[in-house]
Amino acid sequence: MSATLPPLEPVEVTAVDLVRVSMPLVRPFTTSFGRQTERAVLLVRVRGAGHDGTEVVGWGECVTPAAPVYSEEFTDGAALVLRDHLVPTLLQGSREVGTEDIGDRLGHLHGHRMARAALELALLDAQLRAADRPLADHLGAVRDRVPAGVSVGIPDDGIAGLVEQVAGYLDEGYLRIKVKVEPGFDVAPVTVLRETFGTGCALQVDANAAYDADDPDHLAALDALNELGLQMLEQPFGAARLRDHARHAARWRTPVCLDESIHDAADAADAIAMGACGIVNIKLGRVGGMAEAVAIRDRCRAAGIPVWCGGMLETGIGRAANVALAATEGFDLPADTSASDRYWREDLTEPFHLVDGHLAVPTGPGIGRVPRADALRDAEVEPLLG
């Protein structure tokens, strides 16, 4: 049942640049690991020529946060590994490359999946543009719009502020609400949301690994959350704590969704075999790019485990790739792909809008979005070769 992606012609790479843009968020985003007020966005730009000489430019967004708070990856580290290792190694020998070459050429380099994904996605965008093919078509998308959820951070103004934010997002039409929780901000706010918005509101929580599976107070809170009719409980324990997830998932009725724990299809297979999760959140950056995301999807589908597309506060560049992935078979749950105005006053690209709770899948060649020229005017560009 594993779907290999159709072959694409390689491109002759002429230049690779790192492009940095600072993007203030419309409101702070607080998770159990910290508070963000802006994203220091790192993009990879690949310039190249198709086999008929057509010049193309491909874009990939690196989803690392500025500090290693979500995982070990962070933006300056990603820039360094792209500059000193991933890009020179990929282009060593021949500059004619496609995403199919990445396994062979970069397979001996460990980790740095978010950096790797940004490079893979930029190259894929360039190849697809050279072939005049939309990413969604290439992936075999089965829908032209994807159901959108929204991830709500831990508010500065407590439960009242949370209720107000959620009411606003439901009014806008978001199809499900994900609430960030941490020890001390969990059962009380989620109970109030349930009471305020009723059982018809699709509600889920994400702990970003903040709970300790051996702390009785933490377990009591998770047990209580488990009784609140949530769609899922995302990553309660540490990324490496598969056995803790399995131990408690077995007695909870709310499915556990793993995010930080799943880096590749083998991790997904192990987690499923152990009973550590009932749902998997797939993020392109966390897993190293499109090829691995598709492999995880297929492994989960074969095991009857639902998947959905997560988000990392992307600009329109990363969001375009997420939306195309979320349009493929198997991504049936609402994604953390919210509309541009949930994040930015002005997106880096033509914005994504929420229409009847959905985002339209881009139809143009490649990812179907490019950065606005005026947004790039203030960008810091570091040429890596060219």
Q: To the nearest whole angstrom, how small is the minimum distance from the Cβ of residue 211 to Mg ion?
A: 13
Q: Residue 259 interacts with Mg ion (CB under 5 A)?
A: yes
Query: Between 36 and 127, whose beta carbon lies closer to ligand SMG?
Result: 36
Distance CA 32, CA 210 (A): 6
Do residues 154 and 143 touch, judged by C-beta distance below 8 A? no
Distance CA 58, CA 97 (A): 13
Q: Which has the closest alpha carbon to 330: 304, 356, 366?
A: 304
Catalytic residue among 283, 319, 358, 369: 283
Do residues 336 and 310 touch, judged by C-beta distance below 8 A? yes
Query: Between 19 and 62, whose beta carbon lies closer to Mg ion?
Result: 62
Q: To the nearest whole angstrom, how small is the minimum distance from the Cβ of residue 285 to ligand SMG?
A: 10
Q: Residue 336 interacts with Mg ion (CB under 5 A)?
A: no
The phi and psi torsions of 371 (rounded to 5 degrees) equal -65, 145
| Catalytic (active site) residue 178 | no
Q: Which has the closest alpha carbon to 117: 282, 298, 353, 288?
A: 288
- Please report how many Cα atoms fall inside a 13 Å half-sphere around the Cα of residue 236, on the Cβ side: 32
Q: To the nearest whole angstrom, how small is the minimum distance from the Cβ of residue 160 to ligand SMG?
A: 21
Tell me, what DSSP letter sits at residue 229? -
Q: Which does 312 bind (CB under 5 to 8 A by kind): Mg ion, ligand SMG, none?
A: ligand SMG
Binder to ligand SMG among 30, 32, 127, 151 (CB under 6 A)? 151
> Would you give the binding string for ligand SMG spanning residues 93-132, x where CB under 6 A is met?
----------------------------------------
Task: Return the amino acid letter for 173.
Answer: G
Q: Residue 11 interacts with ligand SMG (CB under 6 A)?
A: no
Residue bearing tokens 């499915």: 255
Distance CA 298, CA 89 (A): 29
Bridge partner list, 182 = 185
- Give the CB-nearest residue to ligand SMG: 311
Choose the binding region for Mg ion from 156-164, 179-187, 230-238, 353-361 (rule: CB under 5 A): 230-238
Q: Residue 310 interacts with ligand SMG (CB under 6 A)?
A: yes
The phi and psi torsions of 13 (rounded to 5 degrees) equal -75, 130
- Give the CB-nearest residue to Mg ion: 259
Mind telling me the catalytic residues? 180, 283
Q: Which residues bind ligand SMG (CB under 6 A)?
A: 31, 65, 70, 151, 206, 208, 259, 310-313, 336, 338
